[in-house]
């Protein structure tokens, strides 16, 4: 377990806090919606209600991460946010296609939703047009992915932040500053097995000590890409959920855990891990948990 000498920044979005010393704030979870097929809004409403109840019960914050695959899905998905989610609920918008990203940013601005938006994500594939759109329609918070195609090690991830691995004009941190976003989450870019996937976890304390910024990753992606686990379906589901516990154990602040369908496994698991980290951090480092921490809610 870790404590950092670098001052740790804490960023708030709609009452949810990211960052700080381990044991201070609960780990924030991102729950994925609409990954496959046509968006099923009835199912999404049911899933979000389950997640809300889990979050209230445990103290673990959960942020919906909405995946937008096609241009025709933009309007119905943003209408769903407006009409079916609480007005104080922050959300993450996960888009791959740069052109769809630009369209989404414009519509978020029109609907006055940018203050609730976490932009997922900025990486070395960012285009000048995307940068322009982000400068015009600036979200409250961004996730910066430290993928470096030349070097998957923690040092390679730092290189992407500092100079873009000389693949783009600026380092990703400078790019975000040019855009004008102050609230930055660092995603340590979990890769496939055999591609130094463990570096995503090893890099968490490195980034926290180097920059003092909230850090995490989508380590479950490594499980998804571990084909041999398909021979053990029950174990695969368990491992998928359990993989996320390594993030708070290594000092991380958030976990992008994949499908919201796994929330009933992941949320209590992370609450449990946070309690262990908090107990040790307070006893050894003197870090007291916030009032909303699972340790405060569940250990009475």
pLDDT confidence of residue 287? 96
Phi, psi of 211 (to 5 degrees): -120, -20
d(C-alpha 2, C-alpha 4), whole Å: 7
Low-confidence residues of the chain: pLDDT under 50: none
Beta bridge partners of 19: 10
66 with 92: CB under 8 angstroms?
yes
Burial of 37 (0-12, 13-18, 19+ CB in 10 A): exposed
Q: Give me the DSSP letters along 86-135.
A: -TT--EEEE---HHHHHHHHHHHHHTT-GGGEEEEEE-TT--HHHHHHHH
pLDDT confidence of residue 96? 93
d(C-alpha 143, C-alpha 141), whole Å: 7
d(C-alpha 11, C-alpha 63), whole Å: 14
Nearest CA among 299, 297, 293 for reference residue 27: 293
d(C-alpha 175, C-alpha 178), whole Å: 5
Report the phi/psi class of residue 163: left, alpha or beta, with left for phi > 0 and alpha for psi in -120 to 50. alpha
pLDDT confidence of residue 300? 73
Nearest CA among 298, 248, 186 for reference residue 27: 248
CATH ID of 10-298, from 3.40.50.10470, 3.20.20.20, 2.60.260.20, 3.40.50.300: 3.20.20.20
The model carries a pTM of 0.97
For the chain, how many residues are written?
300
pLDDT confidence of residue 64? 98
219 with 244: CB under 8 angstroms?
yes
pLDDT confidence of residue 157? 98
d(C-alpha 227, C-alpha 165), whole Å: 30
Alpha helices (H) in 164-214, listed in sequence order: 172-179, 199-211
pLDDT confidence of residue 284? 94
> In terms of C-beta distances under 8 Å and separation of at least 24 residues, what long-range contacts does 157-165 make, across chains too?
157/188, 157/189, 157/199, 157/203, 157/206, 157/207, 158/206, 158/207, 158/210, 160/124, 161/186, 161/211, 164/124, 165/124
């Amino acid at each position: 377990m870790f404590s950092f000498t670098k001052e740790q920044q804490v960023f708030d979005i709609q009452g949810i806090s990211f960052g700080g010393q381990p044991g201070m704030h609960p780990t924030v979870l991102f729950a994925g919606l609409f990954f496959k097929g046509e968006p099923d809004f009835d199912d999404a409403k049911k899933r979000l209600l389950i997640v809300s109840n889990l979050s209230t019960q445990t103290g673990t914050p959960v942020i919906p991460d909405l995946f937008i695959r096609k241009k025709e899905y933009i309007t119905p998905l943003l209408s769903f946010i407006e009409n079916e989610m609480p007005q104080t609920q922050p959300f993450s918008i996960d888009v791959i296609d740069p052109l769809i990203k630009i369209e989404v940013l414009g519509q978020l601005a029109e609907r006055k939703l940018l203050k609730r938006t976490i932009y997922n994500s900025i990486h070395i594939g960012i285009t000048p047009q995307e940068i322009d759109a982000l400068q015009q329609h600036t979200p409250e918070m961004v996730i910066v992915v430290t993928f470096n195609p030349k070097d998957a090690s923690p040092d390679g991830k730092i290189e992407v932040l500092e100079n873009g691995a000389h693949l783009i004009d600026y380092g990703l941190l400078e790019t975000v500053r040019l855009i004008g976003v102050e609230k930055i989450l660092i995603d340590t870019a979990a890769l496939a097995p055999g591609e130094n996937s463990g570096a995503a976890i090893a890099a968490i304390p490195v980034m926290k000590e180097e920059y003092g910024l909230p850090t995490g990753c989508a380590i479950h992606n490594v499980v998804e890409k571990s084909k041999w686990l398909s021979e053990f379906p029950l174990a695969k589901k368990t491992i998928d959920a359990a993989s996320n516990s390594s993030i708070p154990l290594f000092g991380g602040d958030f976990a992008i855990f994949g499908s919201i369908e796994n929330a009933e496994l992941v949320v209590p698991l992370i609450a449990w891990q946070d309690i262990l980290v908090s107990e040790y951090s307070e006893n050894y480092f003197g870090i007291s948990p916030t009032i909303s921490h699972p340790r405060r809610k569940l250990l009475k």
